[in-house]
Amino acid sequence: MAALPEGSPAPLDGNLTNLFDLVNKPFSLYVHVPYCSKRCGYCDFNTYTPSELDREDQIESWLNSAVKEIELARRVLKEELTIDTIFFGGGTPSLLDSNTVDNFIQSVKSNFKLKPGLEITIEANPDSITEEKSQRWLNSGINRVSIGMQSSTKEVLKKLDRTHNPDNVSHSVDILKKSGFDNFSLDLIYGTPGESLSDWENSLKDAIALNPPHISAYSLVIEPGTKMGAQLNRGEISQVNDDEVADKYQLADEMLNKNNYSWYEISNWAKRDKECKHNLNYWLGNNWWGIGPGAHSHVNGVRWWNHKLPKVWRELLEKQNSPALAREVLSEDQIKSEQIMLLSRLRTGLGNHELDENRIENLIANQLATLDANKIVLTLKGRLLADEVFRQLSA
C-alpha cells in the first residue's frame, strides 16, 4: 500500500488554530470506506478484504467510528459550516448497506449545514449496485454515482482482477437510470498489458453508448507492492510503452470530444455543467475534511492524514481522540507551487501572473500550452507530456 508522507505529530485533540474565514470558502467532505470484497491486482489504495481484518473492524463497525469523526470535525471546526460536496470513496462504498449510508448522511446533517442541492457522490463497483441500494441512495440525498467500469473487454478485466464482467456495467446503469439518477460517471483504465488499441476503442464506445454525463480515463499505474507489481518484477508482464499510452489518451480525447464530452482535467471529461464539483474543490485548493482510515484533509494550509489501519482509527476515535497520524503546515511557497501544479491540470488553467515570462514562453514555444485570456492552458501535447510539464514547472 502507498506510504504516507512523514509530517510532524498531530495533536490528539485534532485542534486547528487557523480557522480564519472558513465560512466564506467552499468546504467538502471526503468519506473513505476502506473495504473491498477482493483486492484488484493493480490497486494500492488503503482498502482491506474481510480476511485481512479482525471481527471488530469489519465493514459493520465503520459507521460508529465515522460518526465519531464527524463529531470531532464539528468540535475542531468550531463553526457550523456549510458543506458544499460529499464524496464517498474507497475501497468500495457500494458495499455499505443502505441504512449505514443514510445514517451517516443524517449525522452530517446534525453537525453541519448542507448547501441546497449539494453534490453527493458515491463510488460503486458494478457488481454491488442493486435496485434497493439505488433507490435508497437517492432517498438519502446521493445524486451522483461513480462506477468503476475500467474496461469492456473480459480478458482485460480478468488481468486487472476485477470481480465484475462487462454486462454488469450496463445492468447497473439501467438500475440507476430507472431509479431516477441523471448524474453518473464511468471510470475507465487504459494501458493494461495485453490490451489492444481496438480493445480500448471498444471500451470507449461502450462507455459512450451508456450516455454517462461524465467519464474518467486513467492510465494504469503498476504500483510496487501490488500483485501486478510482483508480476512485473518476475517478468510475467511488461510495462506498456509511452507511445501506446499516448495513442490511447489521444483516441479517448478524440472520441469523447466527438460525443460532446470536453476535458476539464487531464483525466476527466464531462458534458456541459457535469464536471465533478468535489474533485474540482481539490484541484482549486479549497478546504476539505477526510473522514475514515488513511483519509487526508486540508484546512487553510494545514494538511493532515489519518492512521491507515481501521483498528487504530477506531481505537483513537473510541477515546474521543483525533485519528490523525501526522500533519504539515504548508509554507507560502509550498502553497504557491502546489497551486501551480493543481491549476495547470485544469482546462480553466493557471493565471499568467503565477509563472515568470521565460517559463510561459518556453511552454508556448514547445507547444505544451497556450495563453488564452491571461490563462495558461495545456494543449493536447501538453496533456500527453503532463509529467514533463510538471517537472519543468517545479524546477
Binding positions for ligand SAM, rule: CB under 6 A: 42-43, 45, 90, 92, 123, 125, 148, 150, 187, 189, 218, 220-221, 223
| Distance (Å, whole) CA 11 – CA 321 | 9
39 makes contact, choosing from ligand SAM, ligand SF4, none, with CB < 5 to 8 Å by partner type, with ligand SF4
* Length, in residues, of the chain: 395
What is the distance, to the nearest Å, from the Cα of residue 206 to the centroid of all Cα atoms in its chain?
A: 23
201 makes contact, choosing from ligand SF4, ligand SAM, none, with CB < 5 to 8 Å by partner type, with none
Q: Using a CB cutoff of 8 Å and minimum separation of 24, what contacts does 272-278 make?
A: 274/183, 274/213, 274/214, 275/214, 276/119, 276/121, 276/144, 276/146, 276/185, 276/214, 277/84, 277/85, 277/119, 278/28, 278/30, 278/85, 278/86, 278/87, 278/119, 278/121
| Distance (Å, whole) CA 142 – CA 120 | 5
Provide the minimum distance between the beta carbon of 148 and ligand SAM in the complex, in angstroms, as a whole number. Answer: 2
Omega into 91 within 30° of 0, i.e. cis? yes
390 makes contact, choosing from ligand SF4, ligand SAM, none, with CB < 5 to 8 Å by partner type, with none
Question: Closer CB to ligand SAM, residue 16 or residue 208?
Answer: 208
Provide the minimum distance between the beta carbon of 87 and ligand SF4 in the complex, in angstroms, as a whole number. Answer: 14
Provide the minimum distance between the beta carbon of 43 and ligand SF4 in the complex, in angstroms, as a whole number. Answer: 3
267 makes contact, choosing from ligand SAM, ligand SF4, none, with CB < 5 to 8 Å by partner type, with none
CB atoms within 10 A of CB 207: 28
112 makes contact, choosing from ligand SF4, ligand SAM, none, with CB < 5 to 8 Å by partner type, with none
Question: Closer CB to ligand SF4, residue 90 or residue 212?
Answer: 90
DSSP string, 127-140: GG--HHHHHHHHHH
Helix (H, G, I), strand (E, B) or coil at 248: helix
| Distance (Å, whole) CA 318 – CA 343 | 39
Instruction: Provide the grid cell at 271.
Output: 458534458
Provide the minimum distance between the beta carbon of 164 and ligand SF4 in the complex, in angstroms, as a whole number. Answer: 9
25 makes contact, choosing from ligand SAM, ligand SF4, none, with CB < 5 to 8 Å by partner type, with none
Provide the minimum distance between the beta carbon of 248 and ligand SAM in the complex, in angstroms, as a whole number. Answer: 13
Provide the minimum distance between the beta carbon of 215 and ligand SAM in the complex, in angstroms, as a whole number. Answer: 11
Question: Closer CB to ligand SAM, residue 42 or residue 200?
Answer: 42
Provide the minimum distance between the beta carbon of 305 and ligand SF4 in the complex, in angstroms, as a whole number. Answer: 18
Question: Closer CB to ligand SF4, residue 125 or residue 185?
Answer: 125
Question: CA Rg, the chain, in Å?
Answer: 21
Instruction: List contacts with ligand SF4 (CB under 6 A).
Output: 36, 39-40, 43, 45, 47, 90-92, 125, 148
Residue 345's nearest CA partner among 387, 374, 303 is 387
Q: Are 7 and 305 in contact (CB under 8 A)?
A: yes
270 makes contact, choosing from ligand SAM, ligand SF4, none, with CB < 5 to 8 Å by partner type, with none
Provide the minimum distance between the beta carbon of 111 and ligand SAM in the complex, in angstroms, as a whole number. Answer: 26
| Distance (Å, whole) CA 163 – CA 92 | 12
Question: Closer CB to ligand SAM, residue 118 or residue 160?
Answer: 160
Question: Closer CB to ligand SAM, residue 140 or residue 146?
Answer: 146
Question: Closer CB to ligand SF4, residue 164 or residue 327?
Answer: 164
187 makes contact, choosing from ligand SAM, ligand SF4, none, with CB < 5 to 8 Å by partner type, with ligand SAM
Question: Closer CB to ligand SF4, residue 25 or residue 227?
Answer: 227
189 makes contact, choosing from ligand SF4, ligand SAM, none, with CB < 5 to 8 Å by partner type, with ligand SAM
Q: Residue 183: CA atoms inside 13 Å, Cβ hemisphere, count?
A: 20
Q: Are 186 and 166 in contact (CB under 8 A)?
A: no
Closest residue to ligand SAM: CB criterion: 148
Question: Closer CB to ligand SF4, residue 306 or residue 344?
Answer: 306
Q: Residue 96: CA atoms inside 13 Å, Cβ hemisphere, count?
A: 28
Question: Closer CB to ligand SF4, residue 35 or residue 112?
Answer: 35
Provide the minimum distance between the beta carbon of 52 and ligand SF4 in the complex, in angstroms, as a whole number. Answer: 12
Provide the minimum distance between the beta carbon of 38 and ligand SAM in the complex, in angstroms, as a whole number. Answer: 11
Residue 199's nearest CA partner among 234, 164, 247, 235 is 247
